[in-house]
Structure 1
Amino acid sequence: MAITKTVSLPDEYRALSMEEKINRIKAAKAFFGERLFIPGHHYQREDVIQFADFTGDSLQLAKKCGESNAEFIVFCGVHFMAETADILTNSTQRVLLPDLAAGCSMADMATLSQTKRAWNTLTDMYGDSIVPLTYVNSTAEIKAFCGENEGACLTSSNAKEMVQWALTKKQRILFLPDQHLGRNTAYDLGIPLSEMAVWCPIKNELEFTDEANRENVQVILWKGHCSVHEKFTVNHIQELRNKDPQINIIVHPECSHEVVQAADEAGSTHHIIQIIEKAESGSKWAVGTEMNLVNRLAMKHTDKTIKSLNPYMCPCLTMNRIDIEHLCWSLDSLKNGTYQFQISVPPDISKYAMIALDRMLISVK
């Protein structure tokens, strides 16, 4: 089979009717059978998620891909997720991403060169007292850096367990690349804001709060964020509560600390889904996470009122890149003997990234 690097979607796929696209995808799934596995993240579009063999959050998808024996994994998510799938599968399996433009702005906020520069500066300051932890929303290179330096990977589902684990190893944590998840997790574990500092990769320096100082810092937060979850504000919460005091506010911990503290509930994508599913019929919920998931929850739980915390929120632009046309193209190409957009992590990176991922997965077994 050939590996193609073609980027543009052929015009013919836009010209197909919805019925034709659906039928082609169904035909491809029937053709490959158990040789094909399509994992789909909860944030994917409705026209794509309908074809997923398994739907989950980052942690669930990582575990499922690692357990899969499928020859081909066509990943409906974003680039770092496909990289993780490639790391966790064996050399005979191939991971494909229907659209290479499906990336993650947060993952792009921490490059390997920035991280190495930060590490050199921080170890000069603090010596051998830091464990690096990276959110799964990061590149394979950053995961490998953490694995090589006694650190680990984590997701929002097991962030508390991994932070606790890291603090049994050394005195301090460097938390990449999402400052909000790191801050909210550490705070929930009883670490005060005065013992946290922010690493700015642009200035290559630590930024302290008024109460913090160099000596008392336990958690060093990388200055990165999710472009979707940062758009939820305390004003959104106040406005909704003023209109309807009975509404429940639940948000993802990628939201700012102020928003998480003002909400009634906060937790991972999986946690949000579970809370909504168990909620009483007739209850009202404003959800601070990606719009595709919010809309799906509202359609599924019609006995409850479910809406976005931000009424003007749009779906994640990069998650939304994978549409039914790109999925159809990817599967057609596979049937025709072409590995369209194969994601392949180099062995030297995969080796250490696997160490970081193993430490994450062990915590949830």
Structure 2
Amino acid sequence: MANSFRKPAILDPMYYPIIALLIALIACVELSDAVTAVDVYRLVQYDISGVPFGSRLATLNHHAGSWLFGSGSSSDLSRTVLILPVRELNLTLITEYIEQKKLLGGLLLLLPPKFRPENTDSTFGADEDIDSLRNKLVELEWLLTHSNIPYPVYFAFEDDNINAVFAEIKRNDASGQPATATTGGYSHVYSYKLVVAASDPKRIAPPNIANIQGWLPGLKVDGDSNQLPTIAIVASYDTFGAAPALSVGSDSNGSGVVALLEIARLFSALYSNPKTRGRYNLLFGLTSGGPYNYNGTQKWLRSFDQRLRESIDYAICLNSVGSLGNQLHLHVSKPPENVYIQQIFQGFSTVAEELGLQVGLKHKKINISNPRNVTTQKGT
């Protein structure tokens, strides 16, 4: 799965290669070991201005446990890898564990199969509240990517094998007994261990930032088109996720990029004929650094001539416009009672209604000095 991450030059972060690994789920018995390999995906690690985020550790070799086993405040989990299905996850408890830097051998988070790209259209989990699960994942991702976690964190997708093992671990943790399994009529004591052998992560040289822009001059009035007002249409082309190997940018923000390119194509055809050219200049921008307070956009804007900046009468940023459903959200930083915003919103609503869509208005004041302003809401 592609992860087209671009680093804003002003942040000087440190990146490391993060790849999908295999985790060995070992059931240790008296005479032999049974090993099951499971695809796992490691939590991202990076630095911003020398401050570490994510997890620096990758190697695992600890016994497996469930949250039930680790729920007691006196439990020693320093040599235990907790297996936690996201659908059952108590965000309050995991937030407490992470924020208070409690000891833990490792964490394996099980993602619902519904969120596999190949299962998007399947009926698996149709009885579940997918929106609720998705919101929980958004909160979990924000927590993990904004924390410095002192133990390895991995993700895996639920399947019949790992669910059966987890159910057994959970039952035996509840009884205070080690996990067991019965095979061929004989009972054997299993001690489940999760093992990942991984080399130390190495620093990746930060790539240079890259922005792409296009310009369509409006209809000339009394000579110079530079005196016309300008409409800017912008989309950030990065994607970012807690597990880089699972980052899917089709809607964050591939859909915004596609929408911008299609708008540029249509208006390019219109502006090629003076009779259909508008009295606005059109500025198109594909910017980098979206996950980090849109620093690529900041650098792009600063490169403009002051006259161009002052001519921008209206700007729209396209993000996650390809989400399933028939709703779009207009995000604004100024109060909704602003007359200009109301006019824009009414225009969007009228056109959307004709297309069978709904447009909502979301107001959020943004601290532009905060280097970690990352939008997670869907819309334009």
Which structure would you say has the larger Rg?
2
TM-score by length of 1: 0.25
Q: Which has the higher contact order (CA 8 A, sep 6+)?
A: 1
TM-score by length of 2: 0.24
